[in-house]
Chains A and B, each alone.
Chain A
Amino acid sequence: MSRIFLTTETVPDCCRAGRISSLFPLSVFVLLCFAWPGIVNGHVYQAQSAWIPSLGLNLGFRLDGLSFLFCLIITLAGFFVTLFSASYMAGKPNLFSYFFYLHAFMVAMLGIVTADHLLLLFVFWEATTVLSYLLIGFDHENTTARENARQAILVTGAGGLFLLFGILLLKTMGAPMALSQWTQMGMDIREHFLYPFIFLCILVGAMTKSAQVPFHFWLPNAMSAPTPISAFLHAATMVKAGIYLLMRFHPLLGGTSLWMGTLVVVGGITALWGAIQALAPCDLKRVLAYTTLMALGILTLFLGGQTVASLTAAATFLLVHALYKAALFLATGSIDHQCRTRDLRNLGGLFSAMPLTMLAVAAATLSMAGFPLFFGFIGKEIMYEGALSEEMFPGFATLATLFANSLMTAVAGIILLTPFFGTRPPSLGQVHEVPWTMRLGPAVMGGIGVVFGLFPEWVSANLIQPAVFAFHPSREEIRLVFFHGFNLPLLLSMITLTLGSVIYIFRISLRHRIQDVIDRLWITTPRIYQKSLDAFVAGGTWFVRRTQTGMLHTYFAVIMVTVLLIAGWAWIPHMGAALIVPDMAQISIASGICLFILAATGVVLMAKKRLVAIGGLGAVGAGVALIFLMFGAPDIALTQLLVETLTVIIFSLVLLRLPLLRTVRKRSRSRNLFDAGLSICAGILVTSFLMGLLQVPLDRNLTTFFEHYSYVAAHGRNIVNVILVDFRSLDTLGEISVVVLAAWAGVVLIRRQEKE
């Protein structure tokens, strides 16, 4: 096995790591296959480990039929995409990050579909949002790529918040957070008055992730991602996460007319709008993006249904679409890689140059168009059956499906015929087939479409039925068959093919018309998005301009007023009781020192000359040191005196190099009065606060502990020092780190100035 992956064909060495890393999804895929027989028999695999037990949050994972189907798609697409990327991305910078993001995304995606706990699911959900941001904006030197990535993360991130809100609403209602416990729930959430809100939150989460109208616009723009990423994220996996969510919530929230009506309408509109727009662009990748919109709409539409046929249609089309769309995206990557363009107007006649890619594309597009013998045909039959069985708006559902499918058939024709047939434009020059790493993915996935089309009963028994049973209570057997007999779905299929051909013939004029209509739309969500983003930035700028004036005085005054208001709010009612008149009978030396300190403070306040102020500061410090000494604190008295000395030295060193105080312009009188008032209020607050504190009995527990154990346990007679270096040494370690850091920062600042 490893030899196959290590052989170099036409690919440089740097991609070996990428190729080897493709073994990761492959091995997960193989592991999954071991679980297959169990899944078919309805077994659910579970694994649990405690994460945050206090919040009831477990790392719980479970694998049932639905998770299994998704996991197979994710790992299979992941394998081919990684292999494809190894060649496609060869020679690009930051390859390590690329493969890292890719695999991390895969893990997050697997996490979403296997998480048992809703909050765990949400964590993985957000992880895919962030990783898709990194992947869409992978070409981060490109402004457009950055903007598109930002758009994707803003839209899907906002949806993620809705999802979280919905989950929390569920939690407040008392619904179990683990999917595995939903079956034992005693109540019916659908009758709760909060049900519409929960439904809305979950729906918006799913709609943003799965790009439903009106949140669809980020998906076509996300095409600025590298093509294999688009194949993986925007065809096979991430955009399906919203679909997965709807499927999971179907048994809990589904079945109401609100659910059915909303999903059918939203899905139908998305399908139609996506399919119509798919005709407009010339960029092959954008065409694919719009067809993905159509597919996601169809899936949503069928999830609106309640019948087995409708849900089977959703599960089947999920598989059909994942297979053909990933293959087509990868093939588009191949064409882009070899021809340096993916503009439909510049492509043609690649039939002879890239025959193997052409075969893969043919298989995929025929499946997409729903030709008989292909898996897509089976999918289309069941789609019509499902649409006709919808409980809400079956007519609309059928018509939307019919038109969307017809448009899809036409687009399938464009994708197959335009690049590969006709005459090759001279601008293309010499074109070669891609290396095997890039051929394998489209070929295998296209091929699976053919095989599945030939053996539909095997697929329905082994993949579709376990998946549908996982989210639908019905146990009637699901059978996909090759030929249903002559009935309405078959007739609709025929109409689809005919209508598709007609649309294909008029494709060029339709392209211009549709583009025209899109340009003339006066209100579109992308425009609303842009407007609100601009308004947000403008509002932020306005707010910052108003609040961040750059005036030290304003900042400081605002902080002080806020503190005074908050502290005063609680304290002022008690202030009167706290204030006490000092007992003047106790006049001692200490009160003399207090007066001295006060006088020195006055000197600092009034000083016109800097040296006088420094002297005053030194005197204040010395006075404080004397107070410490008088009341039994020789250690801090000594420290205070020494620090005062050093402070004076450093003040003199710095201030001697600075201009004099009197060069400063005078402040207005009102400003001075305001400052004085504010300061006096603060002073009164502090004094009263301290006096109030002194009236509360002192808790000496800690002190007694230190006094008792200072010598017995810590072998020290100086209790203060013992506290510093033994009892509370971790604090001291932190404090000396602060001192060293401050010194370091100061030295760096001065050094930088010297350099300048």
Chain B
Amino acid sequence: MEALLAMLVGLITAAAFYLMLSGMLVRFVFGFTLMGNAVNLLIFTAGRLTHSDPPLIEPGQTGLAGPVANALPQALILTAIVIGFAMVTFLLILLYRTHHQTGTLDADQDAFLTEISLSEKGKVS
């Protein structure tokens, strides 16, 4: 099962990179979101998928009755998901600002390039 997930992670990563390379900023954000999912899955798989019981201690007991899923990667992923969400939102707002300023969402277009370099020049002088 882990091998299957490893392949899935690789495929999502490839798709994410392809989207991020496209130069279209909207697709870049799509790729970024996919990337977040792939990384979360990677951490999850690296922590092994052996047991399907959640890491919860039964009421009335002080310890685990039997083996449970690895709690450590879960804690890592939980915050990673929320931070990833915050980052995607921030990226979207950046995208919005970029469009407002350059009038395009195509990072390869001249309008985009000239606008960016112009605003940089404006800062220097």
Contact = CB atoms under 8 A, between A and B. Distances in A.
B108 A552 contact: yes
Interface string B21-40: 11111111010011001101
Interface centre among B68, B90, B109 (most CB of A within 10 A): B90
Contacts, number: 275
Given A690-B42, A703-B71, A732 B22 contact: no
Nearest to A718: B56
Interface string A625-656: 00110111111100110010011001100110
Contacts of A676: 18
Contact of A594 (B8, B44, B90): B8
Given A605-B18, A624-B40, A707-B71, A640 B107 contact: no
B43 to A, nearest CB: 10
B81 A630 contact: no
Nearest to B41: A624
Interface stretch (A222-230, A414-422, A553-561): A553-561
A678 to B, nearest CB: 7
Nearest to A706: B71
Given A683-B11, A712-B62, A749-B93, A556 B20 contact: yes
Given A582-B3, A624-B37, A658-B95, A604 B19 contact: yes
Nearest to B61: A711
Contact of A552 (B5, B17, B23, B86): B23
B55 A632 contact: yes
B26 A655 contact: yes
Interface in B90-118: 90, 92-97, 99-100, 105-109, 113, 116-117
A720 B45 contact: no
Interface string A717-739: 11110011000100110010011
Nearest to B59: A717
B125 interface: no
**Most chain B beta-carbon contacts within 10 A, residue among A659, A686, A738:** A686
Give chain B's interface residue range (CB within 8 Å of chain A). 35 or more
A632 B68 contact: yes
Given A550-B116, A588-B1, A643-B81, A634 B54 contact: yes
Contacts of A739: 82-83, 86
A628 B52 CA distance: 10
A654 B8 contact: no
B15 A694 contact: no
B3 A691 contact: yes
**Size band of the interface chain A makes with B:** 35 or more
Contacts of A605: 15, 18-19
A719 B71 contact: yes
Contacts of B99: 658-659
A183 interface: no
B110 to A, nearest CB: 10
A462 interface: no
A732 B79 contact: yes
Contact of B77 (A551, A636, A678): A636
A742 B86 contact: yes
Contacts of B16: 679
A632 B18 contact: no
Nearest to A597: B8
Q: Chain A at the B interface: mostly helix, strand, loop or mixed?
A: helix
Nearest to B87: A742
A694 B2 contact: yes
A583 B89 CA distance: 39
A684 B5 CA distance: 13
A694 B1 contact: no
B72 to A, nearest CB: 5
A724 to B, nearest CB: 5
Interface in A598-634: 598, 601-602, 604-605, 610, 613, 617, 620-621, 624, 627-628, 630-634
Tell which of B3, B16, B19 has the most Cβ of chain A within 10 Å.
B3
Contact of A647 (B9, B11, B21, B33): B33
Contacts of A604: 15, 19, 30, 34
Nearest to A638: B78
Contact of A646 (B85, B93, B95): B85
B64 A707 contact: yes
A679 to B, nearest CB: 4
B57 A639 contact: no
Given A604-B19, A624-B40, A711-B62, A553 B107 contact: yes
Contacts of B109: 665
Contacts of B108: 551-553, 667
A580 to B, nearest CB: 5
Nearest to B85: A643
A666 to B, nearest CB: 11
A679 B21 CA distance: 9
A746 B88 CA distance: 11
A104 interface: no
Interface of B: 1-28, 30, 33-34, 37-38, 40-42, 44-49, 51-59, 61-64, 68-72, 74-75, 77-79, 81-90, 92-97, 99-100, 105-109, 113, 116-117
Given A676-B18, A680-B14, 13 more contacts: A588-B1, A598-B11, A601-B15, A624-B41, A632-B53, A635-B74, A658-B96, A679-B14, A694-B2, A707-B71, A717-B58, A719-B55, A732-B79
Interface of A: 550-553, 556-557, 560, 580-583, 586, 588, 590-591, 594, 597-598, 601-602, 604-605, 610, 613, 617, 620-621, 624, 627-628, 630-636, 639-640, 643, 646-647, 650-651, 654-655, 657-659, 661, 664-665, 667, 675-676, 678-680, 682-688, 690-691, 693-694, 698, 700, 702-703, 706-708, 710-712, 717-720, 723-724, 728, 731-732, 735, 738-739, 742-743, 745-746, 749-750, 753
